Amino acid sequence: MKQINNDKKYLCLSEEIEKFRKKALKQKQRYSKYDLNKPVSFWIKKERLLNGLGKELTIILRTKGCYWALEHAGCSMCGYIQDANIDNVDSQQIINQFNYALDNKIEEIENDTNDYVLKIFNSGSFFDDNEVSKEVRSHIYKKVSEISKIKEFTVETRVEFIKKNVLNEMLKSLKNKYIELGIGLETVDDHIRNNYINKNLLFNDFLKVVKLCHEMNIGIKAYLLFKPPFLNEQAAIDDCVNSIKTLINHKINTISINPCNIQKNSLVEYLWFQKRYRPPWFYSLFECFINSLNKEDFKNIRVLCDPSGAGTKRGIHNCLEKECNNNMKNILRNFILNQDLEELNQFDLECVCKKKYEIQRYHI
């Protein structure tokens, strides 16, 4: 994909990210053949499906990794390349990873009364042939098509790999499943996305893919990064509110809010060590939801938010009091499962740290 032209000062950001990436990759140990035949992780838990409550089976495959991170430094907040192999992973090994996870969970799925969504992550793009081959994708499609309890199927990809022929291959095998493509849009603001996050993606290019997918009855899950680097709390709220409202107007099926967390060997981690970045507060996230959504919106969209590291110093948190953060996590979880804004109006659970937050929200 052709790189977007930026001013020289913004290219410096990409160069800084590349320094951290190269250092991390030099220190990284290679995985054994044994490791490459098992997935990074897999689990089952409750999740909000399109038509109500259900469960998710999540499988994280270990692949070569994201080409954007390997060739162009990657995104400023991302450390997922740490889970990748860097070198090519044989197609049969990736198939073995998928089979291992599915074989471990299939009995639980078949004996469950809940419907399921299968989410596949590979720390890059599912449609990148150099990362996940057509052979692997075909195997996964065939297996998924045989499991009636799996009603929804979700994968992630950068927009440059979304082609009509690739989508047709998937549709042909998964005729009776709702398919959703996860795309890391991060924000509708091109300046923030490309100059603060280093995404190399224009909003208009995202919309072209949305049009193609909607014409083919394929859903879009847009990931939004809550509080990118170089934004304070108030700016993060304003940016995310604008993004959510814009995506609703464009009839995006699912909006997934990802509060920024501190990942190893990322530029954001460097800023965090220098006390130039703090992960977002729960108060900001809740204010964002309240200011951007209304009851009518939930008739047409699904909102998801499952923050990594929530309640820890590296993830979204208020103060570091366990009770405060546990209360916030419970409120957030109930809001997502029920898609009900009333869940956020539990101000009786506010902590004394709210005063500190109000002082800091315009500064960091």
| DSSP notation for 119-169 | EEE-SS-TT-TTTS-HHHHHHHHHHHHT-TTEEEEEEE--GGG--HHHHHH
**Residues 285-319: pLDDT tens digits?**
999 999 999 999 999 999 999 999 999 999 999 99
Q: Which helix (H) or strand (E) holds 182?
A: strand 178-186
Stretches in the chain below the pLDDT threshold 70: 1-11, 347-349
pTM of the model: 0.94
Q: What is each CA distance from 303 to 123, 196, 224, in whole angstroms?
A: 22, 24, 11
For residue 3, what pLDDT is reported? 55
For residue 275, what pLDDT is reported? 96
Q: At what angle do helices 282-292 and 322-338 cross, to 10 degrees?
A: 20
DSSP helix/strand/coil, 224: strand
For residue 2, what pLDDT is reported? 52
For residue 19, what pLDDT is reported? 85
CA atoms of 233 and 278, how far apart (whole Å): 9
* CB atoms inside a 10 Å sphere around CB 123: 23
For residue 348, what pLDDT is reported? 62
CA atoms of 152 and 218, how far apart (whole Å): 11
| Burial of 202: CB neighbours in 10 Å, binned 0-12, 13-18, 19+ | middle
What is the residue-wise DSSP string for 280-349? PPHHHHHHHHHHH--GGGGGT-EEE---TTTTSTTSS-SSS-HHHHHHHHHHHHHHHHHT-GGGG--GGG
Domain ranges of the chain: 8-360
For residue 16, what pLDDT is reported? 87
Q: What are the structure tokens assigned to 91, written together?
A: 């197609």
- Tokens 């934004």 belong to 231
**Residues 235-268: pLDDT tens digits?**
999 999 999 999 999 999 999 999 999 999 999 9
Alpha carbon dihedral 115, 289, 121, 108, in 10-degree steps, equals -30
For residue 9, what pLDDT is reported? 46
CA atoms of 298 and 72, how far apart (whole Å): 38
Q: What are the structure tokens assigned to 138, written together?
A: 């075909």
Is residue 246 within 8 A of residue 214, CB to CB? The reply is: no
CATH 3.20.20.70 fits 8-360, yes or no: yes
Is residue 265 within 8 A of residue 22, CB to CB? The reply is: no
Regarding beta strands 219-226 and 178-186, do their DSSP bridges make them parallel or antiparallel, or are they unpaired? parallel
| Burial of 87: CB neighbours in 10 Å, binned 0-12, 13-18, 19+ | exposed
